[in-house]
Amino acid sequence: MQQGGFKPKLSAIDHAVVLDELMHRFKTNNNNTPPTVITLDVAKAYDQCPRDTIWNTMHNKNCNPRLLNILKNLFDQVNIQVINGNHQSYNFQPITGVLQGSVLSPHLYSIFINSLPQQLSEIHPTNNLQDINCLLFADDVVLISSPDKMQNLLNICEEHSLLNGYRWSPTKCTVISSPTNNTTYNLYNTNLPTAPAVKYLGLQFNHLGMDTQAHVNNLKEKVNKSMHRIHQIGARTNGFSLLLSTKIYKQFIRPNIEYALSITNFRTTNFAALERLQDDCLRMIYRWFYQLISQISTGYGQPSKHGRTMVHPEL
């Protein structure tokens, strides 16, 4: 239940909704006290996981022996070379980890890490949604608990890493909690950093759940950087054709602006900010024709941001 990666008809947006719902239910069921949430980062996730653990898990789950042998040959009998400029390293075989860039690696890593939520759920076995204490989306791990029980969950995560041959990166983990909570948390005797908000699956969360304003602010910065980049390579009046530039915008920029529109609690001011952001992007393409932006947007099938909140193909 806790693992949301690589499941049919489930996306990162769906998993973000689950986290937001868990945080709100926790607050409702605990006298209006928000939970403590910690995002965990695995150091060199794909490179560190022991393949023997993956093979043993698949064997215990009655995986087809032929399929298992094929996977072993693909990942265990591998020679790698590093090429840098005109220099080429000797062949070497990776002892641990799954291959970077392989389409199979995320699924294999998911098999490896899925024993973690099983151990965490043993603390409080239940089928109630509000009692879920962790969520995973592939290697993105988040813990949800009360301030006094969180360190116990971290201790289990630390023990799991030591037993399974990988390591968390304490400095890249983030704690978000109520401003009145002064408790410090640690992994491997290293205190975890705290922050007022954290980015999880492309969305900003604070101790109350999704932070819409922080998401909009982060979105503006990201979109402006991307738009300036494609403007420099030719998305402008004296570069690519206007039709091509608009298609580039619709393909690479517009999806960023639309990300999670259907699940965030946008207000009228937020919609206005996103419309201005789109206008600024199109002005960079059309320059002197910026007064025709609204007509151009309509002509190329650009619906309003408010209309796009009703579109969520994954649901």
Report pLDDT digits (tens) over 206-235.
Answer: 999 999 888 889 999 999 999 999 999 998
CA distance 102 to 115: 22
pTM, rounded to two decimals: 0.80
- Yes or no: say if 192 and 173 are a contact pair by the CB < 8 Å rule: yes
pLDDT above 90 for 107: no
Q: Are 153 and 123 in contact (CB under 8 A)?
A: yes
Which pLDDT score, from 0 to 100, does residue 227 have? 94
User: Checking DSSP bridges between strand 203-206 and strand 198-200, what pairing results, if any?
Assistant: antiparallel
Domain boundaries, the chain: 1-210, 212-308
Task: Quote the pLDDT of residue 101.
Answer: 81
The pLDDT tens digits for 127-160 are 666 678 888 887 789 999 999 999 999 999 999 9
Distances from the Cα of 140 to the Cαs of 8, 43, 114, 195, 202, in angstroms?
18, 12, 12, 18, 11
Torsional sign, CA 127, 128, 132, 137:
positive
Please provide the average confidence, as pLDDT, over all residues in the chain: 84
Beta strands in 46-133 (DSSP E): 83-84, 87-88
Give the C-alpha separation, 115 to 60, whole Å. Answer: 13
> Beta partners for 209?
206
Question: Phi and psi dihedrals of 231, rounded to 5?
Answer: -65, -40
Q: What percent of the chain has pLDDT over 70?
A: 87
What would the mean pLDDT of 291-309 be, rounded to a whole number?
56
Distance, in Å, from the CA atom of 55 to the CA atom of 51, rounded to the nearest integer, reads: 6
The CATH fold of domain 1-210: Alpha-Beta Plaits (3.30.70)
pLDDT at 168: 93
What per-residue confidence (pLDDT) applies to 312? 46
Write out pLDDT tens, residues 263-277: 887 788 888 888 889
pLDDT of residue 268: 80
